Chain A
């Protein structure tokens, strides 16, 4: 998947992953994809809920060695 931008939110605690994701996605255009890397266990549900509420699409998410990765398409 072609990400326009990668946000490193590893090591950050709630609510920072969401705060930073919002800032990052503001710089993208509709349809572009933001990739987010996080280690906060809550960020999976957080980003899913946040994307839905903001009209964005959480296209895919993976977890590997405790690192959660998300691909969010700006809506």
Chain B
């Protein structure tokens, strides 16, 4: 067989809808037998957060960031019509009606399909996120590792 094609996605956004788009494309690309990488940086890291409270040593600023940012994919807000949290409730009920997968299930599905989930370590430091707070079995890397994948990528997206 010829070598697989590659898709890479930089998920910068911490919005529920944008992350959904990223994960739908990632799952679709995996179904195309692409090797898929999602590189999570800045607010996109929140999609990888566990939803439980994890005890870790942190400074004041890091603690504040941790409190203000959504704990996990399901808690993320919408990029439009968020209405202080009403928007996500509305969209989730519509999604259920149309049988669309929720963001957490899309992330599970991506892991099942061997999509490589990468957390950007530099922005983890900035936002004070530690490995213990993020999903298990993900990778940690920087820009060079991303570029290593992207330069061979057939589809490269920034969301």
Contact = CB atoms under 8 A, between A and B. Distances in A.
Given A12-B99, A13-B99, A13-B100, A18 B31 contact: yes
A22 interface: yes
A56 B113 CA distance: 20
Interface residues of A, number: 13
Interface in B83-101: 98-101
A28 B100 CA distance: 27
Nearest to B28: A15
A53 B31 CA distance: 11
Contacts of A19: 27-28, 30-31, 109, 113
A11 interface: yes
Which residue, A16, A22, A53, has most C-beta atoms of chain B within 10 A?
Answer: A16
Contacts of B27: 15, 19
Which 7 A-B residue pairs are closest in the complex by CB-CB distance? A13-B100, A22-B31, A15-B28, A18-B31, A15-B27, A19-B31, A13-B99
